[in-house]
């Protein structure tokens, strides 16, 4: 005896977010993180920008994901300037974590 599955519904991301508040909250945090990166991008040397991604935003800590240790070192030097700019946009963000993206082998 075969089981009959009901037709599946296809949802847009916006529809799914409306029906799942936790997904909506996650999408909002991701959007805020992207906004923060856009706000401070002018402080980051042009040659490094392509190696930086907005990471998780959790409470007062924002994470930047970088491609290699050299980019991480440069960003650590820029952190005070980035925080100064961020404070104007979102005073709740008081710290920046920098994570080096793991590369697959």
Pick from 48, 53, 25, 24: nearest CA to 38: 53
pLDDT at position 22 is 79
CA distance 75 to 73: 5
Q: Provide the pLDDT for residue 27.
A: 82
The pLDDT value recorded for residue 82 is 96
Distance separating alpha carbons of residues 51 and 75, to the nearest angstrom: 11
So what's the pLDDT on residue 97?
A: 96
Residue 99 pLDDT: 96
Q: What are the residue ranges of helices labelled H in 11-95?
A: 13-19, 21-40, 46-49, 69-89
| CA-wise closest residue to 64 among 91, 36, 42 | 36
Q: What residues in the chain have per-residue pLDDT under 70?
A: 1-8, 11, 13-14, 16-18, 104-105
């Amino acid at each position: 005896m075969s089981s009959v599955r009901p037709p599946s519904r296809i949802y847009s991301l916006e529809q799914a977010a409306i029906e799942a508040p936790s997904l909506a909250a996650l999408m909002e945090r991701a959007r805020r993180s992207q906004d923060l990166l856009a706000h401070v991008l002018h402080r980051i040397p042009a040659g490094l920008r392509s190696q930086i991604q907005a990471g998780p935003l959790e409470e007062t800590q924002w994470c930047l994901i970088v491609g290699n240790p050299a980019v991480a070192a440069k960003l650590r030097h820029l952190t005070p300037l980035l925080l100064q700019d961020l404070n104007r946009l979102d005073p709740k963000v008081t710290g920046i974590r920098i994570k080096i993206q793991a590369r697959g082998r």
